[in-house]
Amino acid sequence: MKPAAFIFHRAATLDDALALLADHPEAKPLAGGQSLIPAMNFRLAHPAALVDLNGVRELAGIAATADGGLRIGAMTRHLAVERSDLVRQRSPLLAETMPHVAHPQIRSRGTIGGSLAHADPSAELPAVMIALDARFQLRARGADRWVRATDFFTGLFATALAPGELLTAIEIPSRAARAGSAFLEVARRHGDYALAGVAVELSLDAAGRISRAWIALLSVGDGPVLTAASGSLVGQDASAANILATAELVRAEVDPPSDIHADAAYRRQLAAVLTRRALTIAAERARTA
Amino acid sequence: MHPVAFTLNGQRVERTVEARLLLSDFLRHDLGLTGTHVGCEHGVCGACTVLVDGEAVRACLMFAVQADGARVETVEHLGTEVALHPLQEAFREAHGLQCGFCTPGILMTLIPFLRDHPAPSDEEIREALSGNLCRCTGYANIVEAVKLAVARGAGVPSDTAARP
Amino acid sequence: MRRLVGQSIRRTEDARLLTGRAQFVDDVRLPMMAHAAFLRSEHAHARLRGVDLARARQRPGVIAAFAAPDLGDYWQPGPLLVPPPPIAGLVFHAATQVPLAREKVRYVGEPIAVVIAESRYIAEDALADIVVDLEPLPAVVDLEAALAPGAPRIHDQLDSNLAAHVVQAKGDYAKARAKAHRVIARRFHYDRGIAGAIENRAVVASWDQIAGEMTIWDTTQAPIPIRNGLARMLGLSESQVRVIAPFVGGGFGPKIMMFYPEEVVIPWVARTVGRPVKWVEDRRENFAATTQERGQIHDSEIALAKDGRILGVRDVFLHDTGAYDPYGLTVPINSQCTLLGPYAVPNYSSEFRAVFTTKPIVTPVRGAGRQHGVFVMERLLDIAARELGMDRVEIRRRNFLRPRDFPHDHKIIFQDFQPLVYDSGDYEPAMARAVEMIGYDRFVREEQPRLRAAGRHVGLGIVSYIEGTGIGPYEGARVTVEPSGHVRLATGVGTQGQGHFTSFAQVVADQLGVETSDVSVVTGDTQAFGWGTGTFASRGAVVAGSACHEAAVAVRQKALTLAAKLLGVKEARLAVGGGRIFVRDDPQRGLTLGELAQRSNPLRGAVVPGSEPGLEATKYFGPARGSTASGVHAMIVEVETETAQVTIQRYVVVHDCGVQLNPMIVEGQIQGGVAAGIGNAFYEQLVFDDGGQLLNASLMDYLMPTALDVPTVEMAHVETPSPLNPLGAKGVGEAGAIPTGAAFAQAVEDALAGSGVEITEIPLSPGRLFTLMAEAKQGGAGAQAAAPAAGGRALIIDGRYDFAGPPREVYSLLLDPAVLASVMPGAQRLERFGDRYVGELKVGVGPISAATFTLEVDLTDQVVGERYAMRVNARGRLGFVAGSAKVALAPGAGGIGTAMTYRAELQLGGTIAAVGQRMLDSMSKVMSAQGLKALDKALDKALDKALRARRGGAA
């Protein structure tokens, strides 16, 4: 299990990286490499060239945005996000999710941007970014645009990234005053790709009714799934009955794949149960926020 | 071929490597540090865990060329046979190893963990170990070894990572 | 004289292992060493028509490449390791593995060719240069189908896929059944797993042309038989071959298998190319090329008296032996014998058929078939208890053999060819202790009802088992006292983490009155000790340990005799201790062992006739038969019924392995065994599809338990010393793994009591448990769930699609190569030659780089405008896709448009099948959706064009 040969480019700056990607259309960006390198070791992936982004300092870092949100550089390692007090304060959902991502030795190397650009339908972070309504900055040589997370994930391992384009930063909007969130997943073993999982971010209005509820699921479709059922809760009380009804909508809505670990029926059940539980937790957290 | 220069167990190393050479193979076969073991080469078993800039990483999921400028530490940087590191001593004491193949990776996982968690709970210890597979011990004595090392306190947490 | 034996002495080998300074095979570095990689079959079953190595040989950095014909006379099928035991009427067909496939491949992963290069990287590059011409044959996966008349035959020289048929019986089961109060019958499944040593296999071979010596480092559990066999194959004398099994990173059974193709090929290659050669198995290879174990299906019956006494048991089972059967019948005979457990079973009728399948070879894996027998018996007793309204502990107690029953002859033959006779045991105290430790009575009476009332599903499992351990034939040991007083011990068994360096040293140190640290132990080097068999069947401590003891006793005697002479006192007045032999009532008068060693090897004078120089002795030990270990496992689980998640809350083991040499090591073995058992019960399953492809050939998808999945086992010991060896020891290496599945099944079933779920299969998974619960809900209580899905699945793409155009138009479009190319995601070009399309496909998704496949599609069964079928064949570096598709067209609803129904059944092979399965379902959905959308578009365009053409014509 040794990788095939490739041409190695080391980028020192973002401009450098964008230029290398523009000049070498056959090159793939190398972020943390925790998904790409195993695929290369199996020789499932054999890119002709890699542009290593690990030396690009300006792509790493977590900062507060003026509106109370967060800006996370794409090359920020999972571990840095996990350890960040700022993330804990401003995005409890993201903070709560981090320990579910693989194992400590993967998180020390893996990057936020790498996970998102990889767009694995079973990965935690794409669903979380959707639930948070995050937006992503995509840069190419001479180009710079922002894309909402909901528009970024376009299918199975597919994203809105154009050739030569790089995901450079993630911005998470500020939370409402009475917000609550929860992340739950069922995996065979801790750190495995989840059989199903859900990220919920909701907020309550002054009257205690749900003013926003974003429910995003993982491992039940081609990519992260923002449920249509999310909308059904808005304007409602976060009562057990309403939550249960939403969970049942999710059960009916999802069309999960079958694999050797879980068939579609089991995944559908998990999606419904986890949605119910996550909504209950998130609503409770919002009430006491 | 690419030049790579880095600090390995406190020593400066300069070599030229092929881009695709995995850090695990580089350490083991080019530099002769065979304490770092290879069990899966897809990032699951944890046997190849080493420290890069003080954090535990899979040496099979990094190219040697990426170590350029980094500080890399392997199990050989812990104790010696006659002067075991306190964590190693605790493993011996608690029978935390059998065939010993997974052990170096486990030790290197624990070094930064104990630095960051000086008084971990059982659950935290087990979670920290969840990225290292061991087929012999059933883990119980590994957990005991960590607890023993913690109970003995001195020396365990940070000092490998901090060594020049 | 038990001073150290029985103490939890810290291990002497640990310092080396902990500091990364212990040498494993992959750590061996030799000047000029070359590296090998094997090309392996991607097909489970195929005729091999040719191998073209020309391009591989030309690749820069490649030293040589070989296929079967290149081996010449060296090519021989491997030996039959274990011939069938002497059982009347036994049928056995030997078909042993070959070094490199010649006429046929019989499992995915079977080696076809080997490349030797300057690095492993280059060797792997060159594998892609090899062209193999294979004619695929139908795979043989399902055990029952394999024996059906007309099943494809795996070994052409045999009449069928039957490898063996064995019947063993005692008493008269039919008569017992006729008299029974109750007869319970069930079908049980126990599926395959891997051993999962963290170190994969490895072989390094070095041929010294000048000395005429071959040195081989091998991750084997049996270095001496490997040396003997390789010497024979290589035409060398045994003294010319040295096999070293240095530190080995876990064995668990498969590393005892011999001879692996790589073990045979690498030494030959080293001699042929004249350079040392290293081959290290990678994890992907490990899933295909290292032996596996487990698949059995049992149809079992128990006949009971009203009071729960067993009147008889009948068991008929199928055993999956894989593509070859070099290990004979060890595993199924273990199942057959271990089923009887600690119970008095007056009538037993057991029959099995071993079946060849196109899957990796089956040889013992920790437990070696014993767990299957335990699972069947314990499940039958659980169901019996339920149906008789008895307590499950009570039914076991009523059937235990009593201490007065030993030795107990079961009157059938065990795997060591000896009658199955239990040497010793006392089962009731172990059960009583386990009942007390797990708090059985309180749990059943209070805890479980209380939690159940609160909506929680907790359950308890408690099972008994025995394990035949420590079988012959023999092991040997040599003990030498050096003039320094240091003691050297050499023995032939290899060590894979069992602590032999320490426990053997304890045995010897006790006899010689020294400390454990004064004894250095050498194992697994044929140059240090050349007689023995290996580490297997929980026999290291028992058999080799006893040999160490005997050798130490002999050295002690030599020392005493010499000391008596030199000190001028009677032997009876001497004592041994502190590294000296001294006069008991005058301790100052004495000699150190070192002095005695020196004096026993004089430079002048004469060695007395009948004596030997040196304080050294070599002794052998062969037990008359195996010693019987036993125990009870109890566990408490909680099942979360909504998500089918199971957590193990407590695990108790009460174990009897006779005298424990080192309790710390014993407990470590048990804890580790339980971890493997938990993996087997709830996490680990090798999933083969109908084409014989393993769908989870990675540690991502084959789930070995982690630290979060294995509880700390609470342990207690019962000690009934074995009378069969001087140490009184019984084996312990496998015990932890044997009853775990049975305990787990009982516990989960107990947690779900009342739901109608009955567990008759291992391994379980949450997904499978969810299905069982759903089926029980539908079928009502008591219904036995449908069998687990056999085999697995090929990729099936089916559906229906409505087009706007008429059937004839759609039909011709579908067969137009240009359209076909445009709708087939990734098709690069497609040309039509009559009914055959030939082209190239480039597909990739996410982490899978776009890979090129050559594509062949043959059209059959065409009825213009209505239907056709296709045979599809695509091959590329990532594997192959082969299969068939059927398409039918009919006028759409109300006669408008076309309704197309399609169904494709595709077999995938190679890397994509082995590690890509997580993506396949989604990927096929996406690709067929893409294709249909494109087809719809093409059709629109074509219709539009036709319409315009018509309009144009009219104008």
pLDDT in tens, B19-60: 999 999 999 999 999 999 999 999 999 999 999 999 999 999
Question: What's the pLDDT at C613?
Answer: 87
Question: What's the pLDDT at C952?
Answer: 58
Q: What mean pLDDT is predicted for residues A188-198?
A: 95
pLDDT class for C794, splitting at 50, 70, 90? Answer: low
Q: How many CB pairs under 8 A join A and B?
A: 88
Taking the C-alpha atoms of residue C284 and residue C109, their distance in angstroms, rounded to an integer, is 9
Which of A6, A108, A189 lies closest to B55 in CB terms? A108
Question: What's the pLDDT at A76?
Answer: 98
pLDDT in tens, A102-113: 999 999 999 999
Q: What mean pLDDT is predicted for residues C445-466?
A: 97
Work out the mean pLDDT of chain C and round it to a whole number.
92
Question: What's the pLDDT at C806?
Answer: 84
Q: Which residues, 6+ apart, have CB-to-CB distance to C711 below 8 Å?
A: B140, C648, C649, C650, C651
Pairing of strands C487-491, C519-523: parallel
Beta bridge partners of C203: C218, C279
CA-CA-CA-CA dihedral for C928, C932, C933, C938, to nearest 10: 140
Pairing of strands C46-52, C104-105: antiparallel
pLDDT in tens, A199-237: 999 999 999 999 999 999 999 999 999 999 888 999 999
CA nearest C663 in B: which residue? B95
Pairing of strands C111-117, C627-640: unpaired
Residue C786 has pLDDT above 80, yes or no: no
Taking the C-alpha atoms of residue A266 and residue A270, their distance in angstroms, rounded to an integer, is 6
Least Cα separation, residue B5 to chain C (angstroms): 22
Least Cα separation, residue C878 to chain A (angstroms): 7
Question: What's the pLDDT at A264?
Answer: 94
pLDDT in tens, C144-188: 999 999 999 999 999 999 999 999 999 999 999 999 999 999 999
pLDDT in tens, C643-672: 999 999 999 999 999 999 999 999 999 999
Ranges C17-31, C537-551, C649-663, C909-923: which has the least confidence: C909-923
Question: What's the pLDDT at C169?
Answer: 95
Question: What's the pLDDT at C934?
Answer: 79
CA nearest B22 in A: which residue? A2
Q: Buried b vs exposed e over A264-289: b needs ≥16 C-beta within 10 Å?
A: eebbbbbbbbbbbbbbbbbbebbeee
What sign for the dihedral angle of Cα C736, C737, C738, C739?
positive
ipTM, two decimals: 0.96
Element (H, E) at C112: strand C111-117
Least Cα separation, residue A44 to chain C (angstroms): 5
Residue C790 has pLDDT above 50, yes or no: no
Question: What's the pLDDT at C947?
Answer: 66
Q: What mean pLDDT is predicted for residues A19-38?
A: 96
pLDDT class for C488, splitting at 50, 70, 90? Answer: very high
Which chains are adjacent to chain B, needing at least 3 Cβ pairs under 8 Å?
A: A, C
- Selected residue with higher pLDDT from C872 and C308: C308
pLDDT in tens, C370-426: 999 999 999 999 999 999 999 999 999 999 999 999 999 999 988 888 889 999 989
- Spatial CA neighbour of B108 closest among B34, B42, B52, B65: B52
pLDDT class for C612, splitting at 50, 70, 90? Answer: confident
Name chain A contacts of C683, Cβ cutoff 8 Å.
188-189
What sign for the dihedral angle of Cα C535, C540, C546, C552?
positive
Inter-residue contact A33 to A60 (CB < 8 Å): no
Name chain C contacts of A154, Cβ cutoff 8 Å.
none
CA nearest C706 in A: which residue? A189
CA nearest A103 in C: which residue? C706
Question: What's the pLDDT at C783?
Answer: 47
pLDDT class for C788, splitting at 50, 70, 90? Answer: low
Question: What's the pLDDT at B24?
Answer: 98
Question: What's the pLDDT at C301?
Answer: 98
Question: What's the pLDDT at B162?
Answer: 37
pLDDT class for B157, splitting at 50, 70, 90? Answer: very low
pLDDT in tens, C85-143: 999 999 999 999 999 999 999 999 999 999 999 999 999 999 999 999 999 999 999 99
Lookup: tokens for B123: 């659950």
Tell me the residues of chain A between 46 and 75 that have a Cβ less than 8 Å away from chain B. 50, 52, 54-55
Interface test with B, best of A1, A6, A9, A37 (most B CBs within 10 A): A37
pLDDT class for B164, splitting at 50, 70, 90? Answer: very low
Q: Which residues, 6+ apart, have CB-to-CB distance to C149 below 8 Å?
A: none
pLDDT in tens, B81-131: 999 999 999 999 999 999 999 999 999 999 999 999 999 999 999 999 999
pLDDT in tens, C842-889: 877 776 777 788 889 899 999 988 999 999 888 888 888 888 889 999
Question: What's the pLDDT at C876?
Answer: 85
Ranges A94-98, C223-227, C612-616, C821-825: which has the least confidence: C821-825
Residue C829 has pLDDT above 90, yes or no: no
Question: What's the pLDDT at C914?
Answer: 84
Interface test with A, best of B58, B62, B107 (most A CBs within 10 A): B58
CA nearest B105 in A: which residue? A105
Q: Does A208 touch chain B (CB under 8 A)?
A: no
**What is the Cα C857 distance to its own chain's centre?**
39
Question: What's the pLDDT at B161?
Answer: 44
Taking the C-alpha atoms of residue C94 and residue C92, their distance in angstroms, rounded to an integer, is 6
Residue C939 has pLDDT above 70, yes or no: yes
Tell me the residues of chain C between 528 and 587 that have a Cβ less than 8 Å away from chain B. none
Q: Using alpha carbons, list the distances in angstroms from residue C36 to A119, B39, C66, C265, C556.
A: 36, 18, 11, 10, 48
- Spatial CA neighbour of C890 closest among C865, C915, C860: C865
pLDDT class for C606, splitting at 50, 70, 90? Answer: low
- Spatial CA neighbour of C238 closest among C248, C229, C251: C229
Q: What is the pTM of this model?
A: 0.95
Question: What's the pLDDT at C784?
Answer: 53
Taking the C-alpha atoms of residue B82 and residue B84, their distance in angstroms, rounded to an integer, is 6
Name chain B contacts of C669, Cβ cutoff 8 Å.
98
Q: What mean pLDDT is predicted for residues C510-524?
A: 95
What does residue C543 show for φ and ψ, rounded to 5 degrees? Answer: -85, -50
Residue C316 has pLDDT above 70, yes or no: yes
